[in-house]
Structure 1
């Protein structure tokens, strides 16, 4: 790795306040990293919008805050404040501790603000709005709603807005909410504020600039770390599932097993857990199964391996349904360095919480996306000279005469290998930024009305659309939206034209769930001896005496209080993980294209084991035998299938359009299947090719489940259709595919 110049040779170092220089020397730094070197000059004047993109643990926080804090110190006679916005409370807590150590020496207050912070600590900032305020979008929304008339005074000292993990917001409901909130902050202070975006995963910098500063994107200074990349070591292991009868038998054994009874050794999960136990013990690692259910299962299996060998447990579950205490236990085990620890986790440990150095990153099943895989891998190989290690485990079904095409093409294994190959090519999915997100517009309308004690329609249009974040909304749709909000009693209008909260709107605004732009399922709380363990979705209540695995340990349900939504449990010797509902990620077109390229090749894959290679060879033989390099439509018995090699947004749209023209079909990942003959399929594709992609009302007339986002229920039908299509479908690509098949 090429090191940047030492601090003594750095021109940027000289721009820092002397107290910060002393802190750097005390920390033992011998040089500034390249991103820090560039960021100091760009940020110290508080006159530029800046994006800092660098790998995990590359010093992005310091790159931003060393010059920002210097700016505050350079103006001691003028109170100064910084608004730091993070997607996670845990990341705020982490930064609170991290920045606090530096800012304590500078006499600059650092205030964390979210639901777990006491009112007394928050009052410190309200009384004297100076220093660094660390906050989530939801808590910032709550400030606008509850302290609307005081927001100008509260933020009058702001010098910067810092957005951490910028990539986590782009293209989402929270991202649109964040854009609107940043604009509203500038409205209450009456001036533009320098915006600073921090991220480890950014591909298209123009897109990132447009998100951070939609109306001044051309002036954003982009700083990308040029430090040499890490060495990457990869191993993919393949497993064949046992027949279904063996799986059911093994599940019965697991549910009734005591601690000293052997588990089903036919299960690939048993073999994977044994291998993980062998290669991970004695070091710090992260293991990413694809669901909270699998997190619980593997955490339990690995803990039992430790108990079997009479060694201390090194394996800790971590997911969003666990209590704060249990999550913090896992985080402390990972970052303390006292003993080896492995986190079995969902995406909760994917973002930038400091958990120290990680040796292995493990993916069980297909990664959600290449971007997610890249983010996770950034945790590994952080020490100089140490490689990043990725271990992936893929489970496939045994082939029989009745195996479907998805199994014969080994879709899970091939997708995993394709994503890893794209990762090594430095490609990852760009966020989908074309979403209208009209649901979030509803929330922002109600929020501004609450903040200002009422607002007129022209004021809402100007703040939110004309000058705001919702630029894709047309005026006619906005007028129709306000009428619909009135009809649903979310708002009401005085004779003067002032819009106020309606009967239902008042109730919803005053509920704590209002501040979030996305909806959360109701949940049961799990409690043992008065201590909370976490929560489960309310759609999956447990029965008395049922035995479960939760928090990596085994419990028996003692009581279920449906009224209070509390499940009381006690330690048990058996159980199975409860089922957590969840949606898989949408696969990008580029991933499916790489899958096709992989199947068309004949050379061995260098980073997979023998079993995985044998499975890949089977898939390649199927691919070649069916001529899938040249054709997209297959007739197998009474089933006709389309293999489009398109991503899920386009495939879902194609399936929907085929149904719209009268061909009953179903989509399943890579494939679209129908019982029609090939001539009927070709007829249907001709009909799809002739459709008008802009006629959304007609094309989506039969879709029943368009309400996907929190406030979709409040949208007029015309705007709901536009919002749904912009977020969930790629109709243009689907129609283009149909045209290509009919030429």
Structure 2
């Protein structure tokens, strides 16, 4: 941190005093310094910096200064995060900063009790840390005077804004912000905090919502390579090593043998892998803690606290620990196989190297060929300084339906033409008319004297627990609460409870890295009781993401198979495994375009190397040539076994101009929340748009495929 006297000039004097004397900082970091002027002036902004880059202070310090200078009163600043654990982690720090200025900060989310909420309503904090779902809950609650609560709102900080922008929670957040702006009859300053993304200007425009183009906004990213900048010849900084171990059990052996005395964070790509690896590490005597979304909140907190206080230990986690939760001073990050994006990898490696003189590091352990190729491809992209663009989910019609119903709850009744004024200029709501008509036609909304209000169909479908179903935009798969005595351990897939495992004896679960014998199942209340078991147990959860790898990542796999080597250290095992993979796929890749082959079993495969979404789009577009019953795959599309070069040329002629969206099954539609509140054809269109990659499909169709069939 460089000392810069002038860097503190725009801070309120009290805050500047504490920065120097309480924190002991000689000055501000470049991001914090560059953000001061624009944020004090009220500009919207996206602040970019690597993990631990001081983004929270870069946002809060100028906003606290503006709060003092402008005499903001009531709850004037919201701090929104995508996960509750991050809010819990941030609260003490935010309270400390606010306290220096004689201000207060408090927490409101689903785990906050009734007494704490009542205290907040009696004495509103200056800063409220919350989630979009909790904001929605406050707006529709009859116990919260939302006009009084948010009348003084002036600014919002959206932490990990890229995590919101990439899924439906982002559209939900923007919609809620538009409603809050109307409640206070004025614009709300919006500040997003993000790790490096491939399209920061687009992210800023998205965050500004209806204010885009009318309010000043800027991307502030000192020291971050922005899109369009020259690519450095050297790979990004960091000590990255790559090994091939062949199984999770072997991964446990390697982790147990390496880095003794150090604190290690291990990332896995699924809850099942976290459980299996955690159990294998404990079996080898490694002090191990676990963190994933199906563990009870108290279980995760205990694990994260114990890990933060220990030294020679491992915590195994899914992406729940990818974001900025503080788990102490890490020595090592270990990645099993690969995360789904380069951006995720940057977040994860950024958890290390925070001590002075320490270097960011990551050890990749591939457990199979799929993980080997995916990790190699990701590191190849990382070595080129490439990061994904964050694209908002397309055609969020179900969010429109949810918001219309929520607004009717919030206001009790809304003028039949006034609803459009609550979301002026927010692009999805330009297409709301047919959805409003459907809600009226199906009884989700009723019209009375020119006013709209919640109808009986909405009460039947979403009215349970005071319409709590309306506050979340996702449908969670059913899970049973697992209890040991009165202590909640976590949640399990009911499929594991519905039948005994093969052989004799009780059903066994693997949860929190321990084996449990199921003693009783309460099917009605969706609970099961367990007792500790010596060994055995199964962990399995349904995956929510079935879209596979992106076009860019799958094409990078092809590049690796064609000889591109990621700029990292590889073990002999990894080098040998990659050579074997290249040999096995030698007939499936060609530098000039896709290859069409026939397998020994007679399958004709079009090796597109385009990703699952592109292949689903191609299957729909070439319905006369593609096998309709095949499972989606990142690498190839199976064709009819009688397709040859002549017929192929006829089938693909002009196909790039008639690309079709994938077909959508009824089962898939059931997973899209608020489907019932949409006309069936629009619900299907919404999901099809999410399953498609039209641009990638077009790129593949423009490439000339070569037949290598014998």
Same fold (TM over 0.5): yes
Aligned to 2:230: none
- 1:659 alignment partner, SS class: coil
RMSD: 2.7
Change (3 A) 1:304 1:288: same
Report matched runs for 1:97-136 at 5 Å.
Answer: 97-136=92-131
Q: 1:237 aligns with which of 243, 262, 269?
A: 243
Pick from 283, 291, 313 the counterpart of residue 318 of structure 1: 291
2:553 corresponds to which of 575, 591, 602: 591
Whole-Å separation in 2 of the counterparts to 1:625 and 1:663: 21
TM-score, normalised by the number of residues in structure 2: 0.90
Task: Check 1:538–1:725 CA distance in 2 against 1; reply closer, same or farther (3 A cut).
Answer: same
Q: Distance in 1 between matches of 2:580 and 2:219?
A: 46
Residue 635 (structure 2) aligns with: 670
Contact 2:43 2:189 in 1 (8 A): yes
- Residue 658 of structure 1 contacts residue 688 of structure 1 at CA under 8 Å; is this kept in 2? no
CA pair 634-158 structure 1, distance change in 2 beyond 3 A: same
Distance 1:703 1:672, change over 3 A: farther
Q: Number of residue pairs matched?
A: 682
- How far residue 183 of structure 1 moved from its aligned partner, in angstroms, is 0.9
Deviation at 1:130, TM superposition (A): 4.1
Tell me, which stretches of 5 or more residues in structure 2 are unaligned? 226-234, 501-505
Mapped partners of 2:59, 2:15: distance in 1:
13
Distance 2:458 2:565 in 1: 62
2:334 corresponds to 1:371 = no
Residue number among 3, 7, 11 corresponding to 2:6 in the alignment: 11
Corresponding position of 1:252: none
Equivalent residue number for residue 454 of structure 2: 501
CA displacement, residues 654-675 of structure 1 (integer Å, 9 cap, x when unaligned): 1233336674362322111235
- Determine whether 1:223 maps to 2:238: no
| TM-superposed deviation, 1:166 | 0.3
Partners of 1:155 and 1:605 in 2: how far apart?
51
Q: Deviations over 1:681-736 (max 9, x none)?
A: 9448725744754776xx74888734542112332133223312322202354245
Partner of 2:88: 93
Offset at 1:739? 4.8
Residue range with higher mean Cα deviation, 596-605 or 717-726: 596-605
Aligned counterpart, 1:437: 396
* Cα offsets for 1:403-461 (capped at 9, x unmatched): xxxxxxx4431221110121232212212325111111111010011111122442223
2:619 equivalent in structure 1: 655
Secondary structure of the structure 2 residue equivalent to 1:15: coil
Structure 2 counterpart of 1:612: 574
Within 5 A, what are the aligned runs for 1:563-602? 563-582=524-543, 583=545, 586-601=548-563
Q: In 1, Cα distance between the equivalents of 2:523 and 2:665?
A: 36
- Counterpart selection for 1:214 from 206, 209, 212: 209
Does the 8 Å contact 1:492/1:502 carry over to 2?
yes
For residue 559 of structure 1, the aligned residue among 490, 495, 520 is 520
* Partner residue, 2:141: 146
User: Could you tell me how far 1:585 is from its partner in structure 2?
Assistant: 5.7
3-state SS of 1:392 partner: strand
- Number of the residue aligned with 1:714: 677
Q: 1:279 to 1:79 in 2, by over 3 A?
A: same
CA distance change for structure 1 residues 594 and 289 in 2, over 3 Å: closer, same or farther?
same
TM-score, normalised to structure 1, is 0.86
Comparing 532-541 and 607-616, the one that deviates more: 532-541
CA apart distance, 1:608: 1.8
Distance 1:682 1:563, change over 3 A: same
Equivalence for 1:470: 428
Q: Is the 8 A contact 2:78 2:130 kept in 1?
A: yes
Q: Distance in 2 between matches of 1:604 and 1:21?
A: 45
| Among 493, 503, 527, the residue aligned to 1:537 | 493
Separation of aligned partners in 1, 2:467 and 2:202: 35
Change in Cα spacing, 1:649 to 1:332, as seen in structure 2 (3 Å) is same
Q: Secondary structure at the match of 2:165?
A: coil
1:524 to 2:480 alignment: yes
Alpha-carbon separation, structure 2, partners of 1:511 and 1:87: 21
Q: Cα distance 1:304–1:285, how it changes in 2: closer, same or farther (>3 A)? A: same
Aligned residue number for residue 727 of structure 1: 690
Displacement after TM superposition at 1:593 (Å): 2.1
Give the 3 Å change call, closer, same or farther, for CA 681–199 of structure 1 in structure 2: farther
Give the structure 2 partner of residue 454 of structure 1. 413
Matched residue of 2:258: which SS? helix
How far is 1:600 from its partner? 1.6
